[in-house]
Amino acid sequence: MAIDCLVLGAGQEIGKSCVVVTINGKKIMFDCGMHMGCDDHNRYPDFSLISKSGDFDNAISCIIITHFHMDHVGALPYFTEVCGYNGPIYMSYPTKALSPLMLEDYRRVMVDRRGEEELFTTTHIANCMKKVIAIDLKQTIQVDEDLQIRAYYAGHVLGAVMVYAKVGDAAIVYTGDYNMTTDRHLGAAKIDRLQLDLLISESTYATTIRGSKYPREREFLQAVHKCVAGGGKALIPSFALGRAQELCMLLDDYWERMNIKVPIYFSSGLTIQANMYYKMLISWTSQNVKEKHNTHNPFDFKNVKDFDRSLIHAPGPCVLFATPGMLCAGFSLEVFKHWAPSPLNLVALPGYSVAGTVGHKLMAGKPTTVDLYNGTKVDVRCKVHQVAFSPHTDAKGIMDLTKFLSPKNVVLVHGEKPSMMTLKVKITSELDIPCFVPANGETVSFASTTYIKANASDMFLKSCSNPNFKFSNSTQLRVTDQRTTDGVLVIEKSKKAKIVHQDEISEVLHEKNHVVSLAHCCPVKVKGESVDDDVDLIKQLSAKILKTVSGAQIHESENCLQVASFKGSLCLKDKCMHRSSSSSSEAVFLCCNWSIADLELGWEIINAIKLNH
């Protein structure tokens, strides 16, 4: 049985997240997003890679959307209403409530204002959302007889979830976007310790480690305050949900403390509507917000007002939150055209901006002019300040989650290729977990876990019950029971598995004499490293063994060594049945075998000589 991971979007890039995972024959689509920086055929994932015939209902078992951001849900109405998918779609209750607002706002901006081709309509959005099944946190959903899914809190934005999926004994987690630290309005990601074959993790900030948020908050507040104190206008392009609420809480509190009378505006009725949902969905917010909610609603901002378009040219200072973020289109871009030429004004960019957007161009340097989508050039004389308030986890958070879950394999998506490659090396070397960074259109395959039920003999069970006391006396006497036992797994004539004690094996096999031995083909050196010949390598390995196994009697010959029943010889085979499938082909191997009587000695030697020890 196998797990196949097909990356349709966010492979070695940020945008149009869409990963299709086949687990023991069940095909699950995680996210169905669009690329905010593209206006051609690359905007949507290549769905033809799932089914050439377009029969998506039979090709896909279900779709799971992790959160309402357009790069994770933006292609869903197109896939269901234009491409014709009618199967089950799952998302959290907040995501189901907020996604249609985001989708309609995007459609209105791109079609009604920019005049682009309408790829899905308002009716498409409504019909698509009728197919959605809302799920609670930690609710186990049985999609069909074999496939079950479960959602975990991801932080990031309201309603964002990580998804656990299991078919038989094979299990994976797809993180979507997540945050491992709390902020003002959302908690940190939380997930159970799970047995996983595969972890698929976002890697937006694969090489970034953030310090305390308080200096960043202070820097942002000082930049905005300085701008309005000098008579300027501060533009904060942000999506209506997420960073807008986080920064509004920060500014509203600062305005109160400093008694500032300069108006703060929201540009979008969508944001006002979004705040209503935030008030209704308090249970998905941080502990701090829940506690404050007992006395007042933290999303009732005292100093924030709705914005009228006529105020764009009004004199005097102000702060404006305008949608969408990244300055990729819409009202925020319209305001930018009018305010960017003034040196009194400020553009504060919160979080990440996708390549191809005006926000990305501003963050990439200090341009004096910027080309917009329709060929218009805008003079940029205003100040540009990048606000490091991204709701994505940093490199430490990714490593912490990976270490906590300890999956058998990791796939990184939703990041920039150079940083992802650096993180891949870090995961492989520090956590000893195989890590992959597939591009869009590529498939990575893994063997899936299968558990076998086995009976146990009475002698084996009795040996398990024998105590094995260990005594230690440092500051006080401590007694521990380090109970271990050895058994042999056999398949009986009835094809049932059974674990028997090693002393029973001759009876089971109907043989008088028997020898139980172990074998392992161990990587001991990288090919090309400087060693004169096989004899030198054997001597080096013997020296490592002597350091670890005190008093070991080692017998050496040209290309092999022996300690008690342990025998190791240099393996000349390209493929060895005793070698791990994940072992590097660039290594030199020592093929080892030893009797069960020297079980602990054998593994002690293996640990002493293996590569990277």
Per-residue model confidence (pLDDT) at position 152? 98
Give the Cα separation of 98 and 91 in Å (integer): 11
Structure confidence by residue, pLDDT tens digits, 183-240? 888 999 999 999 999 999 999 999 998 888 888 889 999 999 999 999 999 999 887 6
DSSP string, 462-521: HHHHS--EEEEESSSEEEEE-----EEEEE-TTS-EEEEEGGGHHHHHT-S----EEEEE
Summarize pLDDT for 6-55 with one digit per residue, the tens: 999 999 999 899 999 999 999 999 999 999 777 777 889 999 999 989 99
- For 251-264, how does the pLDDT look when each residue is reduced to its tens digit (9 = 90+)? 999 999 999 999 99
Examine the domain organization and report whether 475 and 429 are in the same domain: no
Indicate whether 27 and 170 sit together in one domain.
yes
Catalytic residue among 13, 81, 202, 217: 202
Same domain, 140 and 22: yes
Q: Does 170 share its domain with 80?
A: yes
User: Could you tell me if 168 and 96 lie in one domain?
Assistant: yes
Q: Average pLDDT for residues 65-73, to the nearest whole number?
A: 95
DSSP sequence for 167-181: ETTEEEEE--S--SS
Which CATH number do you get for residue 256? 3.40.50.10890
Strand partners, 141: 149
Radius of gyration, CA atoms only, the chain: 30
End residue of a domain, out of 344, 370, 386 = 386
Counting other chains too, the contacts that 54-60 makes at CB distance below 8 Å and 24 or more residues apart are 54/83, 54/84, 56/83, 56/84, 56/85, 56/87, 57/84, 57/85, 57/86, 57/87, 59/27, 60/20, 60/27, 60/28, 60/29, 60/85, 60/87
Which has the higher per-residue pLDDT, 547 or 118? 547
Q: Does residue 115 have a pLDDT over 80? A: no
Which tokens in the block code for residue 322?
Answer: 């305008």
pLDDT tens for each residue of 273-289: 766 777 788 888 888 78
Give the pLDDT band (50/70/90) at residue 612: low
Question: Given this model, what pLDDT does residue 119 score?
Answer: 81
The pLDDT assigned to 205 comes to: 92
Count Cα atoms within 13 angstroms, Cβ side, for 378.
Answer: 22
Clarify whether residues 297 and 408 are in a common domain.
Answer: no
- Contact indicator for 299, 327 with CB cutoff of 8 Å: no
Q: For residues 209 and 55, what is the distance between their CA atoms, to the nearest angstrom?
A: 44
Strand spans (E) along 41-88: 62-64
Confidence of residue 270 (pLDDT cuts 50, 70, 90): low
Tell me how many domains the chain contains. Answer: 4
Which residues are within 8 A (CB) of 531 and not within 5 positions of it... i.e. 6 or more apart?
525, 537, 540
What is the spatial distance between Cα 540 and Cα 492, in angstroms, rounded to a whole number?
44
Q: Is the pTM of this model over 0.85?
A: no
Q: Is 430 a catalytic residue?
A: no
Secondary structure of residue 596 in the 3-state scheme: helix
Range of the domain at 599: 517-610
Distance CA 443, CA 321 (A): 41
Q: What is the pLDDT of residues 153-193, one digit of tens each?
A: 999 999 999 999 999 999 999 999 999 998 888 999 999 99
**Final residue of a structural domain among 465, 480, 509:** 509
Same domain, 194 and 140: yes
CA quadruple 237, 243, 245, 246: dihedral sign:
negative
Q: pLDDT by residue (tens digit) across 469-504?
A: 777 666 666 777 666 677 888 887 777 888 888 778
Q: Which of 344, 366, 386 is the last residue of a domain?
A: 386
**pLDDT (tens digit per residue) in 404-420:** 999 999 999 999 999 99
